[in-house]
C-alpha cells in the first residue's frame, strides 16, 4: 500500500464516495489511487469550484465534502472558497500537495514548478486546521484526523498538504497519530444549566426561537419545543440549507429583516438563539432590537459578539433542545406564537405588495415557486439581486433546501456550489445567479455537461452588476464600472450540448419555462432577461428601515 492508497482508505472509512478537484503533476498518484479505490472524482475546471462544491456537499450531507488540488497556484485558487466555508461553518476537507521534501528544506523559493515554501501559511487564516503531512507512517492518519476535525461542531474547513514525493512511498499498516487526541465534542450542559434555561423560557410571556445553521438539522425537535412554548420560529438564510417540513404555523415565512418580522422579534421578551451568530445580514448590521437573548452555541467565543447574552449555554443544539424537551411542558393557552406569526407574515406580505419596486422580484420568486412545486430540489443562490430575492422570499416546502454564501458573501458561489449539491443526493440543483457572477465559473458548464449532472442554471441577465448599479444610482446619481457585456447564454449553453431557453422576467410564460427546465432529466439553462430592483432591506438600504418597537441591538 502506498501513502496515496492509505489516504483513500482513510476517506473510505468515513464513507467518502465523491471528491471534487483537478489533477496536476504533483498529485497524480493520489488521483490514481482514488480511481483504483472506486471514489468518484468530479474533475472541475477551476480549483475554486472544487472547494465550493465540497462546501455545499458538506452543508447538505452534514459530513465534510472533499476537494483535491495540486501544489502552489492550484491550491491557492481555492482560498476564497475556503474562506466562505470557514465563515459559514461548512464541513470541508481540502487535500493538496507541495513540491518534494528536498525542495522544501531550503525555506525559500528555488523557482521549482508550483513551489511556495510557505504554502500552508496561506491557508491557516481560513482553516480550522492547517497541517503538513510528510511522514509516510502518519499521512493517512492525519488526513482522517483532519476530516474528523472538520466534521466536529463548530464545523469548518480543514487543510492537509503532502509533499508530492511522499504519495508514492510505501505506507506501513494502519497506524495512529502519535501525540494526537481525537477531536472532542463540546461537553453537554449540566442539568442545572438546562433547568435555568427552561425556567427562563417558561417565565417568558413572548418567547421566540431564532434558528441558524447549527439548529437547522434538528427541525423536528425545534418545532416540538416551539409548539410547547407557543413560540414563533425565525429562520436565517443559513438555516434553510438543512431545514425540512416547509412552513408549519409557528414558522415565520419572511426574513427577519423584513420590518414586520423585525417588529415581531423586537416584541419577544426571550429569544432562544440556536446555532446562529446573529450576523449582520440577518440583523441589518445589528440594528434589529433583540432582548432577552438566550444563546446556545458550541463556540463560546460567539456568545456575546453581536448581542449581549442574558444566558449563554455552550453546547450542541441537539442535546440542549432534547434536554429542554424533558423539562418544558405544553404552555396553557398555546402561547402567543401562531397568531403573532400570522399577523406578522400578513403585514410583511401587504407591505411588499404595496411596494412597486418589489413587483418584478416577487414575480420572479413566484414563478420559481410554481416551477418547483413539490419537486425535490436544492436552490443555490448567488450574491445577485435574483439571489437576494430567492434566498429571502422563496417559500420553503417539505422538499426544498436553499444554500447561500451568507458567510463571506462570495460572488460566483452558486454555479460551483450546485455541482456539490447535485452529488449530495438532495435532488435537482437550481442555480439562481446573475450574468456577472455566473461568469466567474462559466467553464463549469463543461463539468456539468460531462458529468450529466441534474442542474438547472437560471441566469438573470441585466447587463451588469445589478446590485452595484442600484447602489451607485442611489448614492452618486450615476453609474460607473458596473456595465457588462453578457454573452448569448443560450448559445453558450448549446456549445456544451445543454438545452436552453430565453424568457423575459415579466413574461407570463416564465413559470412554464422554468418548470420545463426543473422537470428536465439532465442539465439545462434558462436565460431570464430584465432588471430587478433589490429588496428594500438589502444593503445599503438597511439604515432606511426603522424598527419602532424598541432600541437597536448593541453593535
Q: With 70 as the cut, is the pLDDT of residue 551 above it?
A: no
At 434, is the pLDDT very low, low, confident or very high (cuts 50, 70, 90)? very high
**What are the cell numbers at 302?**
460567539
Q: With 90 as the cut, is the pLDDT of residue 544 above it?
A: no
Is the domain 355-529 a CATH 3.40.190.10 member? no
Which of 152-161, 294-303, 531-540 shows the lowest per-residue confidence on average (mean pLDDT)? 531-540
Q: What is the DSSP string of 454-511?
A: -EEEEEEE-SB-HHHHHHHHHHHSS--S-B-----HHHHHHHTT--EEEEETT-TTHH
Is there a common fold for 3-167 and 355-529?
A: yes
Q: What is the DSSP string of 309-368?
A: -SEEEES-HHHHHHHHHTTPPPPGGG-SHHHHHHHHHHHHHHHHHT-GGGHHHHHHHHHH
Q: With 90 as the cut, is the pLDDT of residue 281 above it?
A: no
Q: With 90 as the cut, is the pLDDT of residue 287 above it?
A: no
Q: pLDDT tens digit string along 83-136?
A: 999 999 999 999 999 998 888 876 677 778 788 888 999 999 999 999 999 999
Main-chain phi, psi angles of 548, to 5 degrees: -70, -5
What is the mean predicted confidence (pLDDT) over 306-319?
A: 92
Q: What CATH architecture applies to the domain 191-345? A: 3-Layer(aba) Sandwich (3.40)
As a whole number of angstroms, the distance between CA 385 and CA 361 comes to 8
Which of 18-32, 303-317, 507-521 shows the lowest per-residue confidence on average (mean pLDDT)? 303-317
Where are the alpha helices (H) located in 105-218, listed in sequence order? 119-123, 139-151, 164-167, 191-203
Beta strands 377-381 and 311-314, pairing class: unpaired
Residue with cell 424598527: 547
What is the mean predicted confidence (pLDDT) over 479-491?
A: 96
Query: What CATH code would you report for 3-167?
Result: 3.40.50.970
Residue extents of the structural domains in the chain = 3-167, 191-345, 355-529
Percent of the chain past pLDDT 70, that is, above it, reads 94
As a whole number of angstroms, the distance between CA 492 and CA 148 comes to 41
What is the mean predicted confidence (pLDDT) over 430-455?
A: 97
Mean of pLDDT over the chain? 91
Q: pLDDT tens digit string along 28-64?
A: 999 999 999 999 999 999 999 999 999 999 999 999 9
Where are the alpha helices (H) located in 39-111, listed in sequence order? 47-61, 73-76, 79-87, 101-104
User: Exposure string (b/e) for 317-329, b if CB count within 10 Å is 16 or more?
Assistant: bbbbbbbbeeebe
Name the strand (E) or helix (H) holding 12.
Answer: helix 3-13
At 71, is the pLDDT very low, low, confident or very high (cuts 50, 70, 90)? very high
At 177, is the pLDDT very low, low, confident or very high (cuts 50, 70, 90)? low
Question: Can you give the pLDDT at residue 186?
Answer: 75
The CA-based dihedral angle spanning residues 241, 243, 245, 247, taken in that order and rounded to the nearest 10 degrees: -90
The CA distances from residue 510 to 124, 160, 405, 505, in Å, are 46, 46, 26, 7
Where are the alpha helices (H) located in 204-336, listed in sequence order? 219-229, 259-267, 280-283, 317-325
| Contact between residue 443 and residue 425 where contact means Cβ atoms under 8 Å apart | no
| Contact between residue 324 and residue 194 where contact means Cβ atoms under 8 Å apart | yes
Q: What is the DSSP string of 24-59?
A: -TTTHHHHHHHHHTT-EEEE-SSHHHHHHHHHHHHH
Within 10 Å of residue 404's Cβ, how many Cβ atoms?
Answer: 28
**HEC-encoded secondary structure of 493-507:** HHHCCCCEEEEECCC
| Contact between residue 80 and residue 410 where contact means Cβ atoms under 8 Å apart | yes
Amino acid at each position: 500500500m502506498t501513502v496515496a492508497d492509505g489516504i483513500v482508505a482513510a476517506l473510505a472509512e468515513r464513507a467518502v464516495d465523491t471528491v471534487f478537484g483537478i489533477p496536476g503533476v504533483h498529485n497524480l498518484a493520489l488521483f490514481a489511487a482514488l480511481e483504483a479505490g472506486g471514489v468518484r472524482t468530479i474533475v472541475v475546471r477551476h480549483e475554486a469550484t472544487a472547494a465550493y462544491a465540497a462546501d455545499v456537499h458538506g452543508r447538505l450531507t452534514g459530513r465534510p465534502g472533499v476537494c483535491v488540488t495540486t501544489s502552489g497556484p492550484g491550491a491557492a485558487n481555492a482560498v476564497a472558497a475556503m474562506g466562505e466555508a470557514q465563515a459559514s461553518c461548512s464541513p470541508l476537507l481540502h487535500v493538496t500537495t507541495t513540491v518534494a521534501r528536498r525542495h522544501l528544506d531550503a525555506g525559500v523559493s528555488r523557482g521549482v514548478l508550483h513551489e511556495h515554501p510557505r504554502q500552508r501559511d496561506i491557508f491557516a487564516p481560513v482553516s480550522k486546521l492547517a497541517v503538513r503531512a510528510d511522514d509516510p507512517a502518519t499521512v493517512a492518519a492525519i488526513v482522517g484526523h483532519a476530516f474528523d476535525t472538520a466534521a466536529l461542531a463548530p464545523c469548518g474547513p480543514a487543510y492537509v498538504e503532502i509533499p508530492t514525493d511522499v504519495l508514492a512511498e510505501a505506507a506501513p499498516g494502519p497506524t495512529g497519530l502519535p501525540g494526537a487526541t481525537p477531536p472532542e465534542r463540546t461537553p453537554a450542559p449540566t442539568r442545572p444549566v438546562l433547568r435555568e434555561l427552561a425556567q427562563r423560557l417558561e417565565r417568558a410571556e413572548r418567547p421566540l426561537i431564532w434558528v441558524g445553521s447549527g439548529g437547522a438539522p434538528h427541525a423536528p425537535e425545534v418545532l416540538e419545543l416551539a409548539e410547547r412554548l407557543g413560540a414563533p420560529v425565525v429562520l436565517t438564510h443559513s438555516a434553510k440549507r438543512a431545514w425540512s417540513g416547509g412552513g408549519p404555523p409557528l414558522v415565520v415565512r419572511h426574513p427577519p429583516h423584513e420590518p414586520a418580522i423585525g417588529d415581531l422579534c423586537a416584541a419577544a421578551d426571550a429569544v432562544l438563539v440556536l446555532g446562529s451568530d446573529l450576523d449582520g445580514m440577518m440583523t441589518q448590521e445589528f440594528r434589529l432590537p433583540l432582548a432577552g437573548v438566550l444563546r446556545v452555541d458550541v463556540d463560546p467565543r460567539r456568545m456575546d459578539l453581536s448581542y449581549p447574552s442574558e444566558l449563554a449555554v455552550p453546547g450542541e443544539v441537539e442535546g440542549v433542545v432534547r434536554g429542554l424537551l424533558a423539562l418544558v411542558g405544553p404552555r396553557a393557552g398555546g402561547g402567543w406564537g401562531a397568531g403573532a406569526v400570522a399577523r406578522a407574515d400578513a403585514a410583511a406580505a401587504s407591505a411588499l405588495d404595496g411596494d412597486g419596486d418589489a413587483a418584478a422580484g416577487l414575480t420572479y420568486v413566484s414563478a420559481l415557486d410554481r416551477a418547483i412545486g413539490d419537486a425535490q430540489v436544492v436552490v443555490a443562490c448567488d450574491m445577485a439581486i435574483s439571489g437576494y430575492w430567492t434566498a429571502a422570499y422563496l417559500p420553503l416546502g417539505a422538499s426544498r433546501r436553499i444554500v447561500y454564501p451568507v458567510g463571506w458573501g462570495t460572488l460566483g458561489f452558486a454555479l460551483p456550489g450546485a455541482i456539490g449539491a447535485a452529488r449530495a443526493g438532495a435532488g435537482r440543483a437550481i442555480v439562481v445567479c446573475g450574468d456577472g457572477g455566473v461568469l466567474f465559473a462559466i467553464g463549469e458548464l463543461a463539468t456539468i455537461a460531462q458529468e450529466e449532472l441534474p442542474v438547472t442554471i437560471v441566469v438573470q441577465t441585466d447587463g451588469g452588476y445589478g446590485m452595484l448599479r442600484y447602489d451607485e444610482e442611489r448614492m452618486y446619481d450615476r453609474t460607473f464600472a458596473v456595465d457588462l457585456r453578457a454573452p448569448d447564454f443560450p448559445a453558450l449553453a448549446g456549445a456544451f450540448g445543454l438545452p436552453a431557453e430565453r424568457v423575459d422576467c415579466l413574461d407570463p410564460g416564465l413559470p412554464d419555462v422554468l418548470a420545463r427546465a426543473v422537470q428536465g432529466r439532465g442539465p439545462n439553462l434558462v436565460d431570464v432577461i430584465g432588471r430587478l430592483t433589490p429588496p428594500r432591506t438589502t444593503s445599503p438600504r438597511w439604515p432606511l428601515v426603522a424598527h419602532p418597537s424598541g432600541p437597536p441591538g448593541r453593535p
